[in-house]
Amino acid sequence: MQIDNSEIEHPNGEALLSADKNKNDTKKSEIEQIRPELTWQLRREILYPALTKREMEMEEDADGIHFGLFTENKLAGVVSLFQNGTSFQFRKLAVDASFQHKGLGTLLVNYITQYAEENGGTLIWCNARIDAVAFYLKLGFAQTGRFFTKKGIDYEVMEKPITPVSNHTK
């Protein structure tokens, strides 16, 4: 089934952003868990435009938790999170081009960081595209110096130590 992001509405059908598209107006955005296949369209459009939507499916999708950020009644951002003990890796962070530079990527990363903390996480990390390193630095991630290239794209592993919620109260 073809799913166009413009056809993906928030389940309750409510408008999620006011008509004022102020760059910092992210208050009416909503993040929730979504099915993996709902991430594929944005993954393709933003991260891998030369590939097909079907090629966006990862074997690991079944093991991950997938989040969608809805804004203006539309799926505007996605990210997938994978847990290995107390370490959480996020992958395939993508924000619709028409919603970029409005703080939505930051909202998604902060949301999954909090999720990881609430679920016993001590580390959150990602394989950052080289052109996105500055974005992650602003969010408190550190460069590790571990670089690699995959499918012609250069990456650096970036990580951020976090404190599990159970330790916040001690």
User: Global pTM?
Assistant: 0.81
Query: What's the CA gap between 160 and 170, in Å, rounded?
Result: 21
Options 3.40.630.30, 3.40.50.12240, 1.20.140.10, 3.30.420.40; CATH of 5-122: 3.40.630.30
Query: What's the CA gap between 123 and 113, in Å, rounded?
Result: 9
Cα dihedral 154, 106, 88, 114 in deg (nearest 10) = 170
Query: Quick one: 123 exposed, middle or buried, by C-beta within 10 A (0-12, 13-18, 19+)?
Result: middle
In this prediction, residue 166 carries a pLDDT of 77
In this prediction, residue 74 carries a pLDDT of 92
Contact 143, 107 (CB under 8 A): no
Answer whether residue 127 shows pLDDT above 50: yes
Q: How many CB atoms sit inside 10 A of residue 22's CB?
A: 10
What's the pLDDT tens digit per position in 20-30?
334 444 568 99
Query: What's the CA gap between 152 and 62, in Å, rounded?
Result: 26
Please, what is the average pLDDT of the chain?
85
Answer whether residue 11 shows pLDDT above 70: no
Answer whether residue 1 shows pLDDT above 50: no
Answer whether residue 157 shows pLDDT above 50: yes
Contact 41, 3 (CB under 8 A): yes
| Type of residue found at 37 | E
What's the pLDDT tens digit per position in 54-110?
888 878 888 999 999 999 889 999 999 999 999 999 999 999 999 999 999 999 999
